[in-house]
Amino acid sequence: MSETKTKVGIVGATGYTGVELLRLLAHHPQVSVAAITSRQEAGKHIADYFPSLRGVYDLTFQAPDDAQLDQCDVVFFATPNGVAMKEAPALLAQGIKVIDLSADYRIDDITTWQHYYKMEHASEEWVAKAVYGLSEWKHADIAQAQLIANPGCYPTCVGLPLLALLQANALNSSSHIIADCKSGVSGAGRKAEIGTLFSEAGDNFKAYGVSGHRHLPEIRQTIAAFNPDIAKKFTFVPHLTPLIRGMHATIYVELNEGIDALQVLQEAYQDSLFVDVMPNGSLPETRSVRGANICRITAYRAPETENNQWIILSVIDNLVKGAAGQAVQNMNIMLGLPENTALNCMPLLP
């Protein structure tokens, strides 16, 4: 039966999101991983690099130019920003489906993208054709897409609850949205950086990107699709926490009188496979989603406030629903497969 399987390539398979794709796709009955790339580990067998995958795959890392990615049906780019915009167009021209986990195709406005990413864009023509793959909100577009711009982790964690409120027209027009977010260090990737060393990030807590994080324009763009005025009144501050995986967003919003945020969220996601709206009084915690393609959300009416002020809590695993899991979910939608294929793994506790 293997000849009928979809052949998948992963560019950047030694990174954190790359190995997470490998972990998830190992359980995918309709997919065969055919090519994995790494420039630094080219020639090394996967089992020698990732003992966690011993006996699961018989594959060797190849340099991207040698990997025959053009023989694949779907190629994931799990590479730093700036790689897919140069390498994906040649594959797209051959009809291959591409899912880019980086930010290269996420921002419609090229000037804004170039400002935040500090490089020239190399394939602007594909930005217009890419579908922003926030799976729960773009299902029909994703199903028709050839190129998916997989959302960033913060934009997923913040966007899922906010879009439900925006769709319901729940936000007060004078509301200023504040998203106070925390990420584990794997969000920064596997590359060596002093800030993510154990002795720097462990037993420490700090904000970063306060003067303008790359995900600010991405979240603004998501909000603006529903309400351009509210998009201008949005503040986002990320923080680095000494977690390996996990992301937590605390979002402050003012809603129109009489609107119950929890009810809006429950209605929006009542049929969702991967967004769990928890009951009144719950506290979503990062370990309740660790390793799983789930976003857990709840909402509290802010105590002792005169206006209809709400506090929304949202958690994801940055590597799963925030990256590789959502990418596999998008691939399933593109291929017309059940959306949860290979994505039913439970969170890991403790």
Ligand X SMILES: CC(=O)N[C@@H](CCC(=O)OP(=O)(O)O)C(=O)O
Residues making contact with ligand NDP (CB under 6 A): 11-18, 38-41, 64, 78-81, 83, 101-102, 152-153, 186-187, 189-191, 318-319, 322-323
What binding mask, one character per residue, do residues 86-125 give for ligand X by CB under 6 A, x or -? Answer: ----------------xx----------------------
Can you tell me which residue has the tokens 């119950």?
260
- Phi first, then psi: give them for residue 283, nearest 5 degrees: -125, 100
The residues near 85 (Cβ < 8 Å, ≥ 6 apart) are 104, 105, 121, 122, 123, 126
Shortest spacing between CB 266 and ligand X, in angstroms? 29
CA torsion through residues 291, 292, 294, 298, sign: negative
Q: Does 79 engage in binding with ligand X (CB under 6 A)?
A: no
Catalytic machinery residues: 153
Closest CA relative to residue 148, chosen from 135, 131, 161: 131
Check if the beta carbon of residue 205 is closer than 8 Å to that of residue 211. no
Q: How far apart are CA 178 and CA 348, in angstroms?
A: 30
Check if the beta carbon of residue 204 is closer than 8 Å to that of residue 242. yes
Q: How far apart are CA 220 and CA 159, in angstroms?
A: 10
Q: Does 238 engage in binding with ligand X (CB under 6 A)?
A: yes
Instruction: Using the minimum distance from each CB to ligand NDP, give the nearer residue, 81 or 114.
Output: 81
Q: Does 152 engage in binding with ligand X (CB under 6 A)?
A: yes
Q: How many residues bind ligand X (CB under 6 A)?
A: 13
What binding mask, one character per residue, do residues 203-232 give for ligand X by CB under 6 A, x or -? Answer: -----------xx-----------------
Instruction: Using the minimum distance from each CB to ligand X, give the nearer residue, 221 or 308.
Output: 221
Shortest spacing between CB 154 and ligand NDP, in angstroms? 9
Contact set with ligand X (CB under 6 A)? 81, 102-103, 152-153, 183, 185, 187-188, 214-215, 238, 240
